[in-house]
């Protein structure tokens, strides 16, 4: 087969996995095999690589002593032969549950089938025999069963708990299998499987339902996927199981590194299934980054080495829509409850950081420049709250608006209104006379009356503002509060040294521009400010982002220079947090942004911000991001202190990000141009 297209998840290290619950027919393996095949064919049509079915799905879990009937066990083996033969025309690896005999013992097993072959059989290690469970009456525990074989469907196949299954092809992956109770134990077999290299962990389960049990199962699956830095794919028994003494909800879900990717509604009366694209490449990257995972691998080698069973998986050709949620704004989730919790934590991280720094300094006052824009607004909100927390008057915040040659009436008015609303000591310091004198001293054309607005003209203003703030801090025994954010630092959109690059402490340094907007919105609607201040904050949010350094009729729009912050924050997150290749970032950005009508948007985002980006736009702005990111490391190597806020990372050389200042972006740009052809 050919290679998947750029618009296929398989091209970018994703593997499509599915979990399915057929409607079981008790003690009828032949009928159950057909029900399994029907869903397996649907999975094949959807481009799935791996599909897992429930525990004892070939017979039903609730048949009790019938599990030891010869007629039934013979029928199970015949059903496995049927599935094996039919699998020759199907791409996915099919994992089904059934009772199998070996040497006078009966095991509860997972049978792995693909491409006309039984790849192997994994027995259940731990058998529950408490409360409603009675498995030791029928089965032998699989723990310790290694290096054995079984004959199934006319084939001699590996049998034991020491087997991993490796799919080979354009998107290679390794699968480990465990059964129900195994994950409820202190030492799940999937732990050893993950440490041996399995990125995708499957659980065939029966698991009856009682009140609250579904949440416990989700926690187990999420926790195991998080601790093992893996995907965890779970399928539980559902429709058709006996209701003599128990009930069954058909709980299926897919987790990756703690995050829920997909699940189906429970208590279906018929078959149900779902699938998601697991980012195997991201799992490998994260394992490489988390050194303690590698340490655990070295310290806890399996008592018996795993045997790897390879199989060929040919990913489907052509386009394939990504089947997993991708947030447009990775720093600001679209789920309202999560966004509210994130903003609460981010805001209080900023407040706690600034309060602690002021307390440690022994000083009692803060100096801050207020522009009427987003960043200084958020920094002032944080400063006011920090003063409240320390029991100091807000008048100890010395806030200045420092108008320059292009300061608009709107932003200046908003700056004054904000300072008054916060109850701080407010003042205005016009930098234009000093800037004009400096430009004259530099023999700059503007100093001679010429309308030349170059980088020197801009940075004289930016530098003077910060210079004044530092001298005001000296004069008033205060600390200068920084206002620049994470996005500006990533793009180098800050004046180095004595400019907005520098401060005594910067509470915004770990907050991306897209997060800053929601933090302001969070405070505006928190109930901590009055209606007039809420309206003011909303007006600040609606103001176009601009440095306001160049005079003229048109607004000097920042995003026309550095790109849309929505896309650049997306690029920043996936490059620095996960080390993804530019082409993969472009694919993810296209998946998230190409259709404005698909997917969720964060609460409060204005309608005019809910737009789409096509692949040429995404590529153009990603190229600019790479160039600016690599060219401006020298600024990040000399940033002031400030707190890390998001799991997406920070750019301090003392924290998340270390990089030489003179490295080139050529390898990243070459990868982008080679693999995103438009």
Binding site annotation covers 372?
A: yes
Cα(420)–Cα(423) distance, integer angstroms: 5
Residue 471 three-state SS: helix
Binding site annotation covers 494?
A: yes
Cα(491)–Cα(485) distance, integer angstroms: 10
Cα(542)–Cα(548) distance, integer angstroms: 16
CB within 8 Å of 480: residues ≥ 6 apart = 366, 367, 368, 466, 469, 470, 473, 503, 504, 505
Closest-CA residue to 324 (of 658, 649, 9, 662): 9
Binding site annotation covers 213?
A: yes
- Tell me, what DSSP letter sits at residue 24? -
Binding site annotation covers 369?
A: yes
Give me the catalytic one of 77, 124, 327, 412: 124
Element (H, E) at 514: helix 513-524
Q: Is 449 exposed, middle or buried (0-12, 13-18, 19+ CB in 10 A)?
A: exposed
Binding site annotation covers 77?
A: no
Binding site annotation covers 371?
A: yes
Binding site annotation covers 483?
A: yes
Give me the catalytic one of 55, 135, 199, 623: 55
Cα(233)–Cα(173) distance, integer angstroms: 14
Cα(108)–Cα(129) distance, integer angstroms: 14
- Tell me, what DSSP letter sits at residue 604? T
Binding site annotation covers 373?
A: yes
Give me the catalytic one of 77, 135, 180, 548: 180
Task: Render the burial of 70-103: b for 16+ CB within 10 Å, e for the rest.
Answer: eebbebbbebbbbbbebbeebbbbbbbbbbbbbe
674: how many CB neighbours lie within 10 A of its CB? 10
Active site residue 124: yes
Binding site annotation covers 205?
A: no
Q: Which sign does the torsion angle of CA 477, 483, 488, 489 carry?
A: positive
What backbone phi and psi angles, to 5 degrees, belong to 480?
A: -85, 125
Binding site annotation covers 509?
A: no
Binding site annotation covers 374?
A: yes
Q: In what order do the strands lie in the sheet with 365-369?
A: 425-428, 397-401, 365-369, 478-480
Binding site annotation covers 552?
A: no
Active site residue 221: no
Binding site annotation covers 42?
A: no
Binding site annotation covers 447?
A: no
Residue list for the binding site for deamido-NAD(+): 459, 488, 493-496, 635
Residue list for the binding site: 130, 207, 213, 369-376, 459, 483, 488, 493-496, 635
Catalytic residues: 55, 124, 180
Residue list for the binding site for L-glutamine: 130, 207, 213
Residue list for the binding site for ATP: 369-376, 483
């Amino acid at each position: 087969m050919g290679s998947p297209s750029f618009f296929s998840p398989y091209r970018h290290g994703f593997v499509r996995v599915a979990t399915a619950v057929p409607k079981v027919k008790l003690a009828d393996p032949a009928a159950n095999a057909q029900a399994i095949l029907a869903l397996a064919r649907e999975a094949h049509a959807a481009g799935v690589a791996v599909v897992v079915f429930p525990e004892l799905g070939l017979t039903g879990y609730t048949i009790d002593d019938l599990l030891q009937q010869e007629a039934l066990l013979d029928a199970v083996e015949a059903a496995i032969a049927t599935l094996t033969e039919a699998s020759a025309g199907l791409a996915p690896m099919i994992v089904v549950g059934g009772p199998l005999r070996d040497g006078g013992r009966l095991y509860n097993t997972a049978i792995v089938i693909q491409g006309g072959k039984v790849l192997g059989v994994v027995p259940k290690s731990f058998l529950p025999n408490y409360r409603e469970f009675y498995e030791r009456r029928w089965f032998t525990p699989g723990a310790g069963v290694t290096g054995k074989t079984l004959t199934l469907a006319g084939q001699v196949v590996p049998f034991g708990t020491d087997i991993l299954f490796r799919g080979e092809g354009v998107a290679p992956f390794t699968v480990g299998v465990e059964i129900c109770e195994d994950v409820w134990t202190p030492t799940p077999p999937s732990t050893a499987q993950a440490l041996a290299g399995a990125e995708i962990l499957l659980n065939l389960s029966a698991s009856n339902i009682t009140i609250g049990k579904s949440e416990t199962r989700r926690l187990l699956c999420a926790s195991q996927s998080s601790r093992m830095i893996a995907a965890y794919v779970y399928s539980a028994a559902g429709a058709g199981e006996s209701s003599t003494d128990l009930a069954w909800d058909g709980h299926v879900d897919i987790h990756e590194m703690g995050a829920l990717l997909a699940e189906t509604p429970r208590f279906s009366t018929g078959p149900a299934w779902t699938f998601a694209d697991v980012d195997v490449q991201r799992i490998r990257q994260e394992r490489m980054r988390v050194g303690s995972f590698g340490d655990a691998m070295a310290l806890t080698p399996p008592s018996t080495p795993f045997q790897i069973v390879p199989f060929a998986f040919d990913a489907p050709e052509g386009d394939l829509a990504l089947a997993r949620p991708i947030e447009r704004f990775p720093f600001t989730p679209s789920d309202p409850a999560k966004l509210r919790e994130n903003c609460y934590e981010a805001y209080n991280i900023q407040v706690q950081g600034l309060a602690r720094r002021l307390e440690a300094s022994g000083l009692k006052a803060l100096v801050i420049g207020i522009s009427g824009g987003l960043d200084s607004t958020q920094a002032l909100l944080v400063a006011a709250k920090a003063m409240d927390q320390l029991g100091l008057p807000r008048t100890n915040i010395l806030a200045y608006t420092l108008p320059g040659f292009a300061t608009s009436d709107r932003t200046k008015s908003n700056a004054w209104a904000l300072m008054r609303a916060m109850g701080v000591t407010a003042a205005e310091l016009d930098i234009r006379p000093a800037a004009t004198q400096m430009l004259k001293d530099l023999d700059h054309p503007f100093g001679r009356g010429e309308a030349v607005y170059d980088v020197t003209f801009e940075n004289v203003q930016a530098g003077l503002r910060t210079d004044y703030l530092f001298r005001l801090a000296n004069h008033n025994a205060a600390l200068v509060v920084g206002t620049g954010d994470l996005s500006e630092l990533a793009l180098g959109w800050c004046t180095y040294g004595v400019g907005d690059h520098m401060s005594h402490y910067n509470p915004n340094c770990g907050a991306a521009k897209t997060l800053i907007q929601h933090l302001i919105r969070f405070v505006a609607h928190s109930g901590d400010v009055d209606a007039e201040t809420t309206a003011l904050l909303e007006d600040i949010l609606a103001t176009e982002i601009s440095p306001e350094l160049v005079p003229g009729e048109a607004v000097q729009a920042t995003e026309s220079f550095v790109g849309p912050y929505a896309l650049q924050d997306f690029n920043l997150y996936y490059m620095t947090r996960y080390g993804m290749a530019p082409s993969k970032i472009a694919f993810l950005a296209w998946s998230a942004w190409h259709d404005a009508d698909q997917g969720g948007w964060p609460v409060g985002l204005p309608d005019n911000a809910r737009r789409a980006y096509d692949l040429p736009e995404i590529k153009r702005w990603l190229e600019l991001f790479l160039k600016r990111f690599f060219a401006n490391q020298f600024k990040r190597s000399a940033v002031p202190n400030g707190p890390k806020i998001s799991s997406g990372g920070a750019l301090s050389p003392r924290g998340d990000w270390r990089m030489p200042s003179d490295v080139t972006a050529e390898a990243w740009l070459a990868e982008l141009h080679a693999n995103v052809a438009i």
